[in-house]
Amino acid sequence: MANGYWGKILRVNLTDGTITTDTHSDEWYRTYWGGRGMIGYYLLKETAADVDPLGPDNKFIVAPGILTGVPFGGAGRNSFGAVSPLTGVYGDGEAGGFFGAELKRAGVDGIVFEGISPKPVYLYVKDGEAELRDASVIWGKTTGEVEDILQEELGDKRIRVAQCGIAGENKVLLSAVANDLTHYAGRTGLGAVMGSKRLKAVVARGTMQVPVADPDKVRELARWMVEHWAEKSQGLHDHGTANGLMSLNTSGGLPTRNFLQGHFEGAEKISGPTMTEQILVDRDTCFACPIHCKRVVKTGPPHNVDPRYGGPEYETLGSFGSTCYIDDLEAIAKANELCNAYALDTIGTGVTIAFAMECFEHGLITTKDTDGIQLEFGNADAMLKMVEKIARRDGFGDVLADGSLRAAKRIGKGAEQYAIQVKGQEVPMHEPRLKQGLGVGYGVSPTGADHCHNLHDTGYEKDVTSVKGWGILEPMKASYLGPEKVRLLRYQVALRAANNCAVICQFVPWDLQQFDALVTAVTGWNNTHFELLQAGERSMTLARLFNLRRGLTAKDDKLTERFFQPFKSGPLKGVSVSHEEYEKARVTYYRMMGWDDEGVPTVERLFELGIGWAAEHLPAANQREAGTL
C-alpha cells in the first residue's frame, strides 16, 4: 500500500466521454511526484511536436502531488498544465485553496483530459467515482454563479470546484483556472485550454484520508507550523502578499507605468497596510494552513466590490495599480473581483492593458480603435472597462484578449517595444533592474516570464541562513549577476519546482530540512534533499525538452529589451541590466544545468536525472548515445 498517492490517475476522453485509469509503478511516483513532474511527463510523452494548444490533441492535466491533501499548512494546492495557447510552449500554473486537497482526498492523484467534448461538460469526482455531467446550465456564468448552481445541483455545499471562467469559454489567452473562487492558476492561458475542450469545471468531493507513512510525524510537523508560523509570516498574515509593495517601491523595483519606472508616487495608496486599513473585512486561508494570507475586501459605491471574490494579491495591486499608473485602491479591488469572476490572469491582463495604455500615449491606437475609451495611464475607469471587454472578447478587448505580444503584432507600427513579455507571457511585478538574478530566471523559464519558479535576489543581501544547506554561505547584492548568483538562481528554481511537484505552497515557511521531513513522513521513502532538488530539476528539464521539440532555441531565452534601458528616475536611476552580464549569466546557467551552450541538455544530464528515455526528444543534431562524442 503506497503512501502519499493512490496509484490512480484518471484519463478522461472528452471526445467520446470515456473515463479510464492510468496506473504507474511506485518508481514512477518516486521519480515524477505529481504536479509539474506529472505534467512534464505526460506532455512530453503524449503530445506531438506540432500539437495545436486549442485542438483536441492537447492535454489538460490536473495535477495534485504526493503531499497534497495531507493536513499540514501548504498542502491544499495543485498544479494544472497543458501546451499553452498563449506562448505556444509548455504551460503550467498552480492554485491554492481547497480543490487540490479535495481531489486528492477523493482518491485521485491526477486527471489527464484529452479530446474535445461535443457539448459543455464538467467532471464530478466523488470518493473514487468519476462521471462527466452536462454543463450547459453553467456555461456562460460567472465563477460565483457556477459554484452556487453546482452546489444546488449536486445537493452538497462542500464540493470544491476548479473551473475556467467566461474568459476561458471565449478562449481568451489570458484566462486562468479558478480554484474555489479566490485562488487562481493564472499564467499561461490554461483557462482557454479548458474552454477549447468545452470542459467547464472539475468538481471534487473527497472524504478519504490520504494514506501517510508516519502520521505522528506529520502531526508533529503540522503542529510546529501552527505554533511557529508567526515568527516568519506575521506580516504576510497581517497585510497579505501586499506586504512587500512598499519595500519594492522604496528600493526602486515596483513596476510602474508599464515598467518605464520603478517607483510610484501613489504606492502608499495601494499598499498592504492601506488595504488593511481601508477595505479589508477578513483574512482567508487554504486547506490546513494557519497563516491566513488571503485577503477579503469589500467596498461601497461606486465599485461595490463583492467580498465573495476575495481581495488583491501583490501582483494584482502592481499590475492594475502601479503598472497602469492607477492609485485608486477600490478600482484595483474591482479589477481583482472582475478577473476572479471571469477567471482572468490578473498579471497578464493588467500588463496587457498597460501595454495598450502606452500604445495609446504614443498614438499607435486612438479612441477609434478602443471603442471610444480613453485608454490612458491613470484612467481607472478605462482599465475596468477593458477588463470586461477582454473577458468577453468585446471590441478592442478581442485584440488584447490574445495577450500583449499578439496584440502588438496586430497593431504594428512598432508596438512590440511596449509589450513587456518573455516568450509571449507578460512579465510579473518584479523588476530585473532590482533583482538581476530574477531577470535571468525570466529569460530561461520554460513558461515565459515567471516570478514563482524564480529567485528574489533581495532576500539574500543580508542573511543566507535559509540556503546554507546548498553551500551558499555569503550574502550577495541583488545587483550582482556573477556566477555565484547564477548558482543560487539554479538551486532556487529547482527548489521552487520541487514545491510544484510535491505540490506545496512556497509561502508557508518550511525550511529545507522540514520539507524533506514532510516528504519522508508522508511517503515513507528514504528520501534526501538531493533527491528533492533533482525532482524539481527533472520537471523543469522535461519542460525544457518539450520546448526544444517545439522549436525554441537559446535565442528565445532573451529578456525584454526594456530592462536593458536605465531608469530615468527613482531610487534606481541610471540602473539597467547589462546585455553582456545577462548573456554571460545565461550561458553560465546552461553550463551549471549540464546543458550545452545552446541550452540543450546533454544526454548524460538526462541520464543523471533518471530520464534517459527522454533523450529521443532532443533535437536531431543533439541525438547521440551517452558517452559518445
Partner 1 sequence: MLLEQCEAKEILSVRIRLFGELSRFAGGRGYSFDWPLSPGETIADLIAAIGIPAVEVWMVALNGVKTGVATEPSPGDEVMIFSPVGGG
The residue ranges that bind partner 1 (CB under 8 A) are: 230-236, 238, 241, 243-244, 246-248, 250-252, 273, 313-315, 430, 451-452, 454, 456, 458-463, 507, 571
Shortest distance, CB of residue 452 to partner 1, whole angstroms? 7
Shortest distance, CB of residue 346 to partner 1, whole angstroms? 12
Secondary structure percentages of the chain, helix, strand, coil, to 5: 45, 15, 45
Give the span between the Cα atoms of 629 and 448, in whole angstroms.
Answer: 32
Shortest distance, CB of residue 520 to partner 1, whole angstroms? 26
Of 190, 258, 254, the C-alpha closest to 419 is: 258
Residues 186-220, buried b or exposed e (16+ Cβ, 10 A)? bbbbbbbbbbbbbbbbbbbbbeeebbbbbeeebee
Q: Which is nearer to partner 1, 112 or 242 (CB)?
A: 242
User: Which SS3 state, helix, strand or coil, does residue 486 take?
Assistant: helix
500 CA to centre of own chain: 10
Q: What is the DSSP string of 304-358?
A: ---GGG----HHHHIIIIITTT---HHHHHHHHHHHHHHTB-HHHHHHHHHHHHH
Give the span between the Cα atoms of 516 and 530, in whole angstroms.
Answer: 10
Shortest distance, CB of residue 379 to partner 1, whole angstroms? 26
Shortest distance, CB of residue 248 to partner 1, whole angstroms? 8
Q: Which is nearer to partner 1, 230 or 592 (CB)?
A: 230
Rounded to 5 degrees, φ, ψ at 514 are: -70, -40
Shortest distance, CB of residue 459 to partner 1, whole angstroms? 4
Shortest distance, CB of residue 489 to partner 1, whole angstroms? 13
Peptide bond into 432 cis (omega under 30): no
Q: Which is nearer to partner 1, 32 or 314 (CB)?
A: 314
Shortest distance, CB of residue 528 to partner 1, whole angstroms? 25
Residues 6+ apart with CB under 8 A from 323: 255, 256, 257, 258, 259, 350, 351, 354, 429
Q: Which is nearer to partner 1, 400 or 577 (CB)?
A: 577
Q: Which is nearer to partner 1, 274 or 560 (CB)?
A: 274
Instruction: Classify residue 174 as exposed, middle or buried by CB count within 10 Å of its CB (0-12, 13-18, 19+).
Output: buried
Of 73, 485, 584, 474, the C-alpha closest to 293 is: 73
Q: Which is nearer to partner 1, 130 or 225 (CB)?
A: 225
Q: Which is nearer to partner 1, 448 or 601 (CB)?
A: 448
> Cβ atoms within 10 A of the Cβ of 119, count?
9
Shortest distance, CB of residue 302 to partner 1, whole angstroms? 29
Which H or E element spans position 164?
strand 160-164
Give the span between the Cα atoms of 629 and 181, in whole angstroms.
Answer: 53
Shortest distance, CB of residue 454 to partner 1, whole angstroms? 7
Largest CA distance in the chain: 70
Q: Which is nearer to partner 1, 400 or 478 (CB)?
A: 478
Give the span between the Cα atoms of 555 and 315, in whole angstroms.
Answer: 28
Residues 6+ apart with CB under 8 A from 133: 121, 122, 123, 124
Instruction: Classify residue 309 as exposed, middle or buried by CB count within 10 Å of its CB (0-12, 13-18, 19+).
Output: buried
Q: Which is nearer to partner 1, 192 or 246 (CB)?
A: 246
Shortest distance, CB of residue 281 to partner 1, whole angstroms? 19
C-alpha distance from residue 539 to each of 19, 39, 130 (Å): 26, 8, 28
Q: Which is nearer to partner 1, 234 or 367 (CB)?
A: 234
Q: Which is nearer to partner 1, 279 or 357 (CB)?
A: 279
Instruction: Classify residue 462 as exposed, middle or buried by CB count within 10 Å of its CB (0-12, 13-18, 19+).
Output: exposed
Shortest distance, CB of residue 451 to partner 1, whole angstroms? 5
Q: Which is nearer to partner 1, 201 or 472 (CB)?
A: 472
Query: Do 140 and 169 form a contact (C-beta atoms < 8 A)?
Result: yes
